[in-house]
Amino acid sequence: MIVMLVVVFLCIAGIGYAKFTMVKRAIAEHSKFAMPPVAVTTLVVKGQKWQPVLSAVGSLRAVNGVTVSTDLAGIVSEIKFESGAAVKKGDLLIKLDTQQEEAQLHAAEAKLEWTKVDMDRKRDLVAKKTISPSDWDSAQSEYRQAVANVDTAKAVIARKQIVAPFDGYLGIRQVNLGQYLNPGASIVPLQSLDPIYVEFNLPQQDLSQLAVGKKLHIRAADIEGEFDGEINAIDSKVDDATRNVMVQATARNSDHKLRPGMYVNVDVLLPEKDSVLAIPVSSINYAPYGDSVYVVKPASDGKPGPDGKPALEVEQHVVKLGPKRGDQVSVLSGIQDGDEVVTSGVFKLRPHATVQVNNAVTPDNSLTPKPNDT
């Protein structure tokens, strides 16, 4: 029995020692294991000139824009324009029927001729003291009244000839030949397109940076290029509901691509700043406790990487961000000029992770991006 117990004990001890040896060997092998480096793209941060802007969404409005209408009732007898045509101030648009007014004008002109003849006759008679001065006065009064009646008839006829009040472009015709128009009936929209107003709102805290004459850039969706303009008026009050102030600017629109009613993006240009550190937006690791970026540094252990070159690792830097422009965002603090910042692959990193830089394909980093699918 004693021999059997000794044999069993030795077997158990042997098995335990074998397992202990296996575990020790596994721990040793695990300590030699290293995670493969994470492939990232990087950008060396350099100070650059930065054009700060105040961005807003605005709407366009014509400097002169009306819907042409009539203030007298009548039947449309002539239409002298085509929809969408360019017109000059004073160009005839439509004529209303004036047969009755022209008849009244003829009667008034006939009355005017008779009163003039009567006034001339009585001028001679009063000089000869054949009639009293009151008769001469009455003749003069009748003549002046006849002149006024003629002028009134001509004015009514002129008001039934609707002309363009200013240079501009017509919209879609809203009347037809032979149609009866009531006073105030719409005929056609008329808009002047060059120059054009852009109106937008900015928060009250930006009011100190605004001034009449400040330059701005305007961009509209699906229209190539930027349009230059400048502020010509700032509202005298801040809206007490939104705490925004209305700003009006004037922009040149010589090719007439901008149209009243369009929404546009507005950038009010502020004084340029030198040596601003700007990095791609893709570099930022956004988090509730603070935004951060990863800066590439030589590995602290000094070991070479898989390619035989000195290994690289990343340090996490908490940053304070400034204004954005296009694909870039300015950094107020947290990094320095010359730091190599990770621009893609940020979501795969952790502090002191080993990385491998491959800048064959880099993320967009333009101040004026033009995405394909917008």
| 13-27 residue pLDDT tens | 777 777 777 777 766
**In this predicted structure, what is the pLDDT of residue 323?**
82
Same domain for 305 and 252, yes or no, is no
Average pLDDT on 305-333 reads 82
Sign for the pseudo-dihedral over CA of 71, 74, 75, 80:
negative
Give a yes or no: residue 10 inside a domain: no
- Of 106, 137, 159, the position where a domain reaches its end is 159
Residue 231, pLDDT > 70, answer: yes
pLDDT digits (tens, 9 = 90+) for 249-306: 999 988 888 999 999 999 998 887 778 888 888 889 988 888 999 999 988 766 665 5
Task: In whole angstroms, give the CA distance from residue 66 to residue 109.
Answer: 36
Same domain for 344 and 197, yes or no, is no
Residue 34, pLDDT > 60, answer: no
**In this predicted structure, what is the pLDDT of residue 143?**
86
Task: In whole angstroms, give the CA distance from residue 123 to residue 119.
Answer: 6
Beta-carbon count within 10 A of 268 CB: 24
Average pLDDT on 159-172 reads 91
Residue 307, pLDDT > 70, answer: no
Length of the chain: 374
**In this predicted structure, what is the pLDDT of residue 33?**
47
- Of 159, 184, 203, the position where a domain reaches its end is 159
CATH value at residue 138: 1.10.287.470
Confidence band of 368 (pLDDT split at 50, 70, 90)? low
**In this predicted structure, what is the pLDDT of residue 92?**
92
Average pLDDT on 104-111 reads 88
Average pLDDT on 134-159 reads 86
Same domain for 251 and 310, yes or no, is no
Confidence band of 245 (pLDDT split at 50, 70, 90)? very high
Average pLDDT on 85-107 reads 90
Give a yes or no: residue 227 inside a domain: yes
If you write DSSP's letter for every residue of 170-196 in order, what string do you get? E------TT-EE-TT-EEEEEE--SSE
**In this predicted structure, what is the pLDDT of residue 203?**
93
CATH value at residue 241: 2.40.30.170
Give a yes or no: residue 152 inside a domain: yes
Same domain for 105 and 253, yes or no, is no
Token output for 117: 């003849």
Confidence band of 230 (pLDDT split at 50, 70, 90)? very high
Q: What's the structural domain count of the chain?
A: 3
For the chain, state the CA radius of gyration. 43
Residue with tokens 């035989």: 308
Confidence band of 196 (pLDDT split at 50, 70, 90)? very high
Same domain for 286 and 336, yes or no, is yes
Task: In whole angstroms, give the CA distance from residue 34 to residue 96.
Answer: 92
CB-based contact 171:84 (threshold 8 Å): yes
Same domain for 326 and 281, yes or no, is yes
Same domain for 295 and 335, yes or no, is yes
Domain residues for the domain of 285 are: 38-50+273-357
Beta-carbon count within 10 A of 355 CB: 23
